[in-house]
Amino acid sequence: MKNYRTSIFVVLSLVILLNGQSSFVARAGAESKVHIVYLGEKQHDDPAFVTESHHQMLWSLLGTKEDAHDSMVYSYRHGFSGFAAKLTDSQAKKIADLPEVVHVTPDSFYELATTRTWDYLGLSAAYPKNLLNDTNMGEEVIIGIVDTGVWPESEVFSENGIGPVPKHWKGGCEPGENFSSSHCNKKLIGAKYFINAFLAENEEFNSTESLDFISPRDFDGHGTHVATIAGGSVLPSISYKGLAGGTVRGGAPRARIAMYKACWYLDDFDITTCSSADLLKAMDEAIHDGVDVLSLSIGNRVPYYPETDVRNGIATGAFHAVLKGITVVCSGGNSGPAAQTVGNIAPWILTVAATTLDRSFPTPITLGNNKVILGQAMYTGQELGFTSLVYPEDPGNSNESFSGTCESLLINSNLTMAGKVVLCFTTIKRHSAVSSAARYVKRAGGLGVIVARNPGDALSPCVDDFPCVAVDYELGTNILLYIRSSGSPVVKLQPSRTLVGQPVATKVADFSSRGPNSVFPAILKPDIAAPGVSILAATSTTNTSLNDRGFIMLSGTSMAAPVISGVAALLKARHRDWSPAAIRSAIVTTAWRTDPFGERIIAEGSPRKLADPFDYGGGLVNPEKAAKPGLVYDLGIEDYVAYMCSVGYNESAISQLVGKGTVCSNPRPSVLDFNLPSITIPNLKEEVSLTRIVTNVGPVDSVYKVAVEPPLGVQVTVTPQTLVFNSATKKVSFKVKVSTTHKINTGYDFGSLTWSDSVHNVTIPLSVRTQILQNYYDEN
């Protein structure tokens, strides 16, 4: 927080100084809102001392202890220093002018980013010698989840067969509505909730009437689902409405779960939202409690804030967590397939994209001419025998409301849909278009709906298991041509089936947010991809779309992030001395750039294309390979300081962020030298050189040789071309010279750089854009 290096006298002097300035007192009637006062790295190890200094600062601003107490929302005192308080704009400006304050910003809000997975990724307990068994399934690791809470009765939180709670755990279980300390056990070892900022910003919120629980208990179900994926216990014979049956477990099934509820349901708007101030407090507590991995399936939308802006609360909390050895994993967002939409872009965060599994749910559609078309659905009801098929159009009416779009079904009440299956077309990408069309058709007495839409991957059953099948535009047009050519078109709909393995292709999901990074494009985001489509996991039993055992399928980067959290937990269990950067490097450099069967990974979108680093970072996570990466690209506090200097942050802000004086070099370092397991050059004119350092974590005596796949039109030279490691040499640097033969501005082209010792292949992605014109204007 402030500079406490001398004594409490500094704080008391500040109190006297501020009390002498009456302009700090708010005018009566001014509106107070929650602001976050961020003071950087804490300067004292006693949390009570830190909190008292926060109160003293507010007291000096507001004039009385009582006003200071009423204003204070949170004191951040474990991982970093700062506080959230209700302040007027003028009060916020005054306190922001203090030299000890890094930032004062209004509170902001985030949104949620919402079986087969582990077999698909090759992480199976069936083999005696693998990462799962080598780490006892992560039993000594604690995964902290910041989300909507937890449903403690779920079977995935069973403590059967799990040993004592790890000794480094310092947290606990916080009682509240329908939740007591007895709900925690040796599996679910901690649960806390953070609602003060949410309540301060939503004064109309009625806690007694709200559907949500004012406790760690999960109403939404999202937090329970995420926790299951990361570290849920092993449960055999789980299915969802008869589909996708099998064993459900988390990535680290014996890891301990600690839930930090910071996201709350707003009944009036039917949304779940997360205050930045609540999120920061949850992360602060998680740092104190001793979590090893912190998982957040939460984000916001473009435009994004820089990392040192406290409005980017996740980045701020994550920075302090990483400095204390905690790996922070975040979802990349669900704003794809548009470029530059990826979120959680701080370089100390492990940011995750979503792919499909090798699983689909083909649903036969049989037309009256006996032609069978395979749609996609999660329909598990009875077969619907041959039934009249209709396309809702009026050939004599040019009004667009009769265009046959799914959205027009609600207003086309004069069209006869009763007793029929309806075909409609939509340009809306989300599955909500399918479920909405099903509601409209069912309300009109229809028996089923076929929705033609952009190819997509997100599926869910329609209400009451109403027959709703999705097809692409080509198949939809074929069905429409049949309807128009037949005097009495009919169709038969059969229940969906589960198809696993080849020939089902792996794809980057249409919704998964894409790079490049919109704030600092030289920092590659996302870092990695993991399955996030139709993932089966536990949920709260307040959710009605589930089977009797409390499991549901959900899609989103929310589901992909905890996959990586589970893998990170296993890596932490195996390599307790690895830093978060080393864990990230191991995951990125060993990833599959094909699917596990060697087939190409396609990125969904319009049009589909071969996936590249802006779709999936290093590729699809390969847990077994990540356990033995050979080399890692590591980072420490000095590297993060150099990064912040390179992108132009002022020295005062950096000093307070890291808790020690910082002077940036002159000239400032190049961001291209930041030791990431990737190289991204957004503005190459002619030639640039950069440096990377690799650390040997494999056999002591190792020799690695380089292999480069250069991007199109780009020349890449690596010096030296051989790296030699021994007992005296554990770290080696190398230089990369990159030049372009392009004479025009280009888009990004992609390649890779691999160090290999014939056993380990340590691969990083190369992404290069030639910008002749931009650099010309910069220089002239």
Based on its alpha-carbon atoms, the radius of gyration of the chain, rounded to whole angstroms, reads 28
Longest Cα–Cα distance of the chain, Å, equals 91
Spatial separation of the C-alpha atoms in residues 336 and 332, rounded to whole Å: 10
Q: Using CA atoms, how far apart are residues 438 and 409, in angstroms rounded to an integer?
A: 10
**Which among 275, 295, 388, 558 is annotated as catalytic?**
558
SS3 labels along 358-397: CEECEEEEEECCCCEEEEECCCCCCCEEEEEEECCECCCC
Q: Which of 35, 103, 183, 222 is catalytic?
A: 222
In angstroms, the CA 679 to CA 588 distance is 12
Determine whether 60 is an active site residue: no
Q: What phi, psi does 474 have (nearest 5°)?
A: -65, -50
| Residues in contact with 680: Cβ distance below 8 Å, sequence separation at least 6, in sequence order | 516, 517, 521, 522, 523, 524, 613, 766, 767, 768
Q: Which of 94, 202, 184, 110 is nearest to 148 (CA)?
A: 110
Q: Is residue 754 within 8 Å of residue 677, measured between CB atoms?
A: no
Distance CA 470, CA 564 (A): 30
Return the SS3 of 779. Answer: helix
| Cβ–Cβ under 8 Å, residues 141 and 293 | yes
Q: Phi then psi for 336, rounded to 5 degrees?
A: -75, 170
Contact (CB, 8 A) for 528 and 611: no
- 320 catalytic per annotation: no
| Contact present, 596 and 122 (Cβ < 8 Å) | yes
Q: Is 81 noted as a catalytic residue in this protein?
A: no
The residue type at 267: D
3-state SS track over 540-568 = CCCCCCCCCCCEEEECCHHHHHHHHHHHH
> Residue 252 and residue 326: Cα distance in Å, rounded?
16
Question: Of 35, 55, 81, 147, which one is the catalytic site residue?
Answer: 147
Closest CA to 602 of 616, 588, 618: 616
Give, for 637, the enclosing helix (H) or strand (E). Answer: helix 637-646
56: left (phi over 0), alpha (psi -120 to 50) or beta: alpha
Tell me which residue of 542, 518, 540 sits closest to 346, measured CA to CA: 518
- DSSP letter at 23? G
Q: Two tokens at 54? A: 């926060």
Q: Residue 21 gets which letter from DSSP?
A: -
Q: Are 736 and 692 in contact (CB under 8 A)?
A: yes
Q: How far apart (Å, rounded) are the C-alpha atoms in residues 225 and 460?
A: 15
Residue type, 478: N
353 with 616: CB under 8 angstroms? yes
**Residue 141, phi then psi, degrees to nearest 5:** -105, 145
Burial annotation 440-451 (CB, 10 A radius, 16+ → b, else e): bbbebebbbbbb
Residue 626 CB contacts under 8 Å (≥ 6 apart), including other chains? 131, 567, 571, 586, 587, 590, 591
The torsion defined by the Cα of 24, 29, 30 and 34, in degrees rounded to 10, comes to 100
The torsion angles phi and psi of 51, rounded to 5 degrees, stand at: -65, -40
Inter-residue contact 685 to 703 (CB < 8 Å): no
**Cα–Cα separations (whole angstroms), residue 158 to 141, 155, 234, 489:** 16, 5, 9, 53
As annotated, the active-site residues are 147, 222, 558
